[in-house]
Amino acid sequence: MTTVEGIVAATRERAANFRTCQFTGLKVDIGAQRLIIANAVAAVVFLAVGGLMGLMVALTRWPAVHLLPAEWFYLILTAHGANVLLFWIIFFEIAVLYFASAVLLNSRLAAPKLGWLGFVLMVVGAIITNVAVLQGESTVMFTSYPPMMARPHFYLGIILFAVGALIGVGLFFGTLMIAKAERTYEGSIPLVTFGALTAAIIAVFTLASGAIILVPTMLWSMGLIRDIDPLMYKLVWWAMGHSSQQINVSAHVSVWYMIGALVLGAKPLSEKVSRGAFFLYILFLQLASAHHLLAEPGISAEWKIVNTSYMMYLAVLGSMIHGLTVPGSIEAAQRRNGFNRGVFEWLRKAPWGNPAFSGMFLSLVMFGFIGGISGVILGTEQLNVLMHNTIYVPGHFHGTVVAGTTLAFMAGTYLVLPLIFQRDIIWPSLARIQPYLFGIGAAGISVFMMGAGTLGVARRHWDINFTDAVIGFQHSPGAFLMMGMNGISAILAALGGIIFVLVVVGTALFGKKIGPGHKMTFPLHSSAAVVSKYGSEGTIKLPGTIVLVTIFFLSFVLYYFVNWKYLSDLWLFR
Amino acid sequence: MAVTSPERRVWWNEPVERVEMIWIAVALLWGLFMFFFMIAWHFIGGQNLSTEAYRVVPSVYQNKVDEFAQKYQVGDESGTPIVRPPAGVDIYLLGRLWQWWPVLQLEKGQSYRLHLSSADWQHGFSLQPTNINIQVHPGYEHVIVLTPTEAGEFGIICNEFCGIGHHTMTGKIIVVDSKAEAK
């Protein structure tokens, strides 16, 4: 804690420079605002680079197109993973952390100069790793499993990036302490800040695990350490690799709540329940490293069962709770806004033309139905053998990270642009269709990869025709169809991604500056209209949400047992 | 709102709506069910991954596989020996850059102790179209009691990236129906 206190002390004297937001009434520290902009811009740059790489990968895996030669395919796939899964997401998350601490708490940001140091480290690290991959001797995939070895600077770049990100996380904690000490808010921190705090705590665990495994691996690559045990590597590496996805979950659930609040005036149904659900993440999400060890030799069934289920599915419970409280709070808000007829008027008359809302709601639905359910199936001890390392796995995590996190962050960007960049969104009609294009594309790649994986197609594989194999093998025609559909979906998603980047860059450079009295193209909720103490007050009934979660639950149970049926048809092994 | 502090300083004793309580209970029970079902499958199911494994030096393992293949070789497919061990014995499969070696010929309904390891990098044993997928590590010898339940030719592909020849890494298991053969 001394370092955090050091940050607080070092910045106590800084004369913070504030402006007051005309839409939300929040006091915005200009220093924080600049850092949010820088991190958001870097995020979008890496999304653009990594996203285009993803398109090339999908077009190569479409057998009829088969775009890249083998060597380039594996190289680009390695870079795709690092750029989108690490760089895009974590840059954006650092922006979210600064926003959720300094801006939402009306506080000055702790040590903005350190924030810039962290930012520079992250940029430099990300560039070094990209250079290492493009030089061609570090085609080890994002996971870099030993004994396969990359050049030392491949690991160095990721380590620098992680150190930079850790500084950003430290500033978040420092800002919370400043805000508390300077009493910039009353009572408890807002729910969105609480969710961001969850993400930050998991981030410390994650980034530390990354350092613990990547530093010795780099030394091994330099010839200073003789051997890295491949099984041990997987255990610790995935404490970074999978837990960093839990940062995403906490962060994007916070973004869902934030968009619900700003666009519709939604309140948490119950602070206690929503915060409790976040707290379950802190307690149990780190166990997920086990998801990557279910098909490995020599690990006991007891260890697998306890860890892979996040201790009796208590972290899954957290997500299922958010799955009710997020749409529930939106339904309650919409009913207060006057859309009270029938079961679904609140949903039909929701602002589907506002990309912040449509992106958020699509993200919520697809994260739950596609990414969430498939994740539990994959993480079931015995069922894992059906899809371990098949393309079902990327199918699952494109459902969580692309359809879920990325889409939620895109939706959040449509609020960051007017509120933080203070530019109104240009090309509103393009922005309006963007979440749908990207969402349908992302859902497509997830579902079709999962389908192909069920038919046995391997992940990270250049040629499902096995043309050059000595002993040939032929996949079923269905597998080829699935990979083709995956390619088409990837084109849709890429279109949505390109439009997103164009709108963001265009708005940042040429968007109309928002001055006093400006009316936003995609307006926020006029929060003054709502007077109630908490979201469920007045016992507003939520029939629509009940129908939604019932459909979700039935799909979950059905799909769960279908997979046990598949498993029971396999050869016997014990 | 979710972006502002709770309006009541003391928010933790606000009542929780019934629908939330019911959903939490349902989700909790479902989680417990899924947890105990994994345990139950160890008793009622026929597909549980073995936890029997040994540390092994890759070259030593390679010698064991060679010996095994020589002993039971019955044929040859594109330069890879076809090996037909008697039912119930220990059988060996080696993953290496870039093949699964040798080709195994097994009998339907018979159990074998299948040993799996790698000579070099990690590989992914992926039996198709059955879709059984097991990770293979160098330095670890995994022993799985395997019982084929259908006859035919099955491909083994590699689904752990293992360098530029990864997509050419294949192998084969042939399962014969001994009763049908006898007729």
Residues B134-153 have pLDDT tens digits of 999 999 999 999 999 999 99
Contact check, Cβ <8 Å, A309/B34: yes
End-to-end CA, chain B = 77
Residues of chain B with C-beta less than 8 angstroms from the C-beta of A189: 5
Residues of chain B with C-beta less than 8 angstroms from the C-beta of A456: 126, 128-129, 131, 157
Compute the CA torsion angle A216, A222, A227, A228 (nearest 10 deg): 40
Alpha-carbon span A69 to A56, nearest angstrom: 11
pLDDT, tens only, A447-459: 999 999 999 999 9
ipTM above 0.90, yes or no: yes
**Whose CA is closest to B2, among A215, A345, A274, A289?**
A274
Contact check, Cβ <8 Å, B31/A549: no
Q: Is the CATH code 3.40.50.300 the one for domain B53-182?
A: no
pLDDT, tens only, A71-125: 999 999 999 999 999 999 999 999 999 999 999 999 999 999 999 999 999 999 9
Sheet arrangement for strand B73-77: B73-77, B80-83, B103-107, B170-176, B152-158, B123-128, B132-136
Contact check, Cβ <8 Å, A145/B160: yes
Alpha-carbon span A440 to B19, nearest angstrom: 31
Helix (H, G, I), strand (E, B) or coil at B104: strand
Distance from CA of A141 to the nearest CA of B (A): 8
Contact check, Cβ <8 Å, A296/B135: yes
DSSP letter at A370? I
Helix (H, G, I), strand (E, B) or coil at B84: coil
pLDDT at res. B8: 84
Strands B53-55 and B140-147: what pairing? antiparallel
Considering chain A, what percentage of its residues have pLDDT values greater than 70?
Answer: 95
Considering chain B, what percentage of its residues have pLDDT values greater than 70?
Answer: 98
Alpha-carbon span A157 to A165, nearest angstrom: 12
- What are the beta bridge partners of residue B81? B76
Tokens of B175: 């399962």
Please report which helix (H) or strand (E) contains residue A27, including its range.
strand A27-29
Question: What are the distances in angstroms from CA B157 to CA A128, A571, B92, B95?
Answer: 34, 17, 16, 10
Give residue A534's pLDDT band: very low, low, confident or very high (50, 70, 90): low
Contact check, Cβ <8 Å, A190/B12: no
Cβ neighbour number for residue A178 with a 10 Å cutoff: 25
Q: What are phi and psi of A572, to 5 degrees?
A: -90, 140
User: What DSSP line would sit under A186-229, residue for residue?
Assistant: SSSPPHHHHHHHHHHHHHHHHHHHHHHHHHHHHHHHTTSSS---
Considering chain B, what percentage of its residues have pLDDT values greater than 90?
Answer: 87
Cβ neighbour number for residue A333 with a 10 Å cutoff: 25
Return the number of CB contacts < 8 Å for A and B.
Answer: 317
Residues of chain B with C-beta less than 8 angstroms from the C-beta of A387: 131, 133
Q: What residue segments make up the domains of chain B, in order of their start?
A: 53-182
Confidence (pTM): 0.95
Distance from CA of A481 to the nearest CA of B (A): 16
- B82-116 CB burial, b ≥16 within 10 A, e <16: bbbbeeeeebbbbbbbbbbbbbbbbbbbbbbebbb
Expressed in percent and rounded to 5, the helix, strand and coil fractions of chain A are: 70, 0, 30
pLDDT at res. A526: 74
CB-nearest partner of B1 from A266, A294, A574: A266
Q: If you measure CA to CA, which chain A residue comes closest to B21?
A: A273
CB-nearest partner of B131 from A230, A270, A386: A386
Distance from CA of B182 to the nearest CA of A (A): 23
A137: left (phi over 0), alpha (psi -120 to 50) or beta: alpha
Tokens of A539: 């016992």
Considering chain A, what percentage of its residues have pLDDT values greater than 90?
Answer: 88
Residues of chain A with C-beta less than 8 angstroms from the C-beta of B139: 229-230
pLDDT at residue A4 above 80?
no
pLDDT at res. B58: 97
Angle between helices A428-454 and A477-510 (to 10 degrees): 160
Residues of chain A with C-beta less than 8 angstroms from the C-beta of B99: 470-471
Angle between helices A30-61 and A89-98 (to 10 degrees): 160
What chain A holds in terms of domains, given with CATH numbers, is 337-514+539-574 (1.20.210.10)
Contact check, Cβ <8 Å, A573/B140: no
pLDDT at residue A294 above 60?
yes
Alpha-carbon span B109 to B89, nearest angstrom: 14
CB-nearest partner of A476 from B99, B129, B139: B129
Q: If you measure CA to CA, which chain B residue comes closest to A191?
A: B2
Tokens of B112: 């074998």
Q: What does pLDDT average to over chain A?
A: 93
CB-nearest partner of B39 from A192, A260, A305: A305
Tokens of A353: 């033309």
- Residues B106-130 have a mean pLDDT of 97
Contact check, Cβ <8 Å, A380/B137: no
Helix (H, G, I), strand (E, B) or coil at A295: coil
Alpha-carbon span B115 to B108, nearest angstrom: 18
CB-nearest partner of B50 from A260, A455, A573: A573
- Alpha-carbon A476 to chain mean position: 33
Give residue A15's pLDDT band: very low, low, confident or very high (50, 70, 90): low
Contact check, Cβ <8 Å, B14/A466: no
pLDDT at residue A1 above 80?
no
Q: If you measure CA to CA, which chain A residue comes closest to B2?
A: A191
User: Per the omega criterion (within 30 degrees of 0), is the bond before B129 cis?
Assistant: yes
Alpha-carbon span A103 to A95, nearest angstrom: 11
Please report which helix (H) or strand (E) contains residue A146, including its range.
none
Q: If you measure CA to CA, which chain B residue comes closest to A301?
A: B51
Which H, E and C letters describe A473-536, residue by residue?
A: CCCCHHHHHHHHHHHHHHHHHHHHHHHHHHHHHHHHHHCCECCCCCCCCCCCCCHHHCCCCCCC
Question: What are the distances in angstroms from CA A513 to CA A35, A60, A427, B86?
Answer: 19, 42, 15, 80
Mutate to test the interface with A, among B37, B118, B154, B161 (most CBs of A within 10 A): B161
- Alpha-carbon A552 to chain mean position: 21
End-to-end CA, chain A = 49
pLDDT at residue A158 above 60?
yes
Residue matched to tokens 């807002």: A190
Mutate to test the interface with A, among B7, B48, B159, B172 (most CBs of A within 10 A): B159
Contact check, Cβ <8 Å, B138/A230: yes
pLDDT at residue B126 above 60?
yes
Residues of chain A with C-beta less than 8 angstroms from the C-beta of B28: 317
Residues of chain B with C-beta less than 8 angstroms from the C-beta of A150: none
Residues in CB range of A482: below 8 A, 6 or more apart? A448, A449, A451, A452, A455, A457
Give residue B9's pLDDT band: very low, low, confident or very high (50, 70, 90): confident
Contact check, Cβ <8 Å, B79/A470: yes
Q: If you measure CA to CA, which chain B residue comes closest to A299?
A: B51
Contact check, Cβ <8 Å, A187/B9: yes
pLDDT at residue A529 above 60?
no
pLDDT, tens only, A462-521: 999 999 999 999 999 999 999 999 999 999 999 999 999 999 999 999 999 998 888 888
- Residues B59-82 have a mean pLDDT of 96
Q: Using alpha carbons only, what angle is made at residue A332 by residues A330 and A335, rounded to the nearest 5 degrees?
A: 105
Give residue B14's pLDDT band: very low, low, confident or very high (50, 70, 90): confident
pLDDT at res. A324: 96
Residue matched to tokens 């009270």: A340
Rg (chain A; Cα; Å) = 23
User: What DSSP line would sit under A113-125, residue for residue?
Assistant: HHHHHHHHHHHHH
pLDDT at res. A3: 57
Tokens of A151: 């050049």
Alpha-carbon span A562 to A549, nearest angstrom: 20
Mutate to test the interface with B, among A229, A470, A541 (most CBs of B within 10 A): A470
Helix (H, G, I), strand (E, B) or coil at B155: strand
Helix (H, G, I), strand (E, B) or coil at A159: helix
Question: What are the distances in angstroms from CA A560 to CA A102, A291, A295?
Answer: 43, 17, 19
pLDDT at res. A414: 97
- Residues B80-86 have a mean pLDDT of 97
pLDDT at res. A374: 97
Q: If you measure CA to CA, which chain B residue comes closest to A479?
A: B129
Residue A360 near residue A350, CB atoms below 8 Å: no
Strands B103-107 and B132-136: what pairing? unpaired
CB-nearest partner of B2 from A268, A456, A560: A268
- What are the beta bridge partners of residue A171? none
Q: What does pLDDT average to over chain B?
A: 94
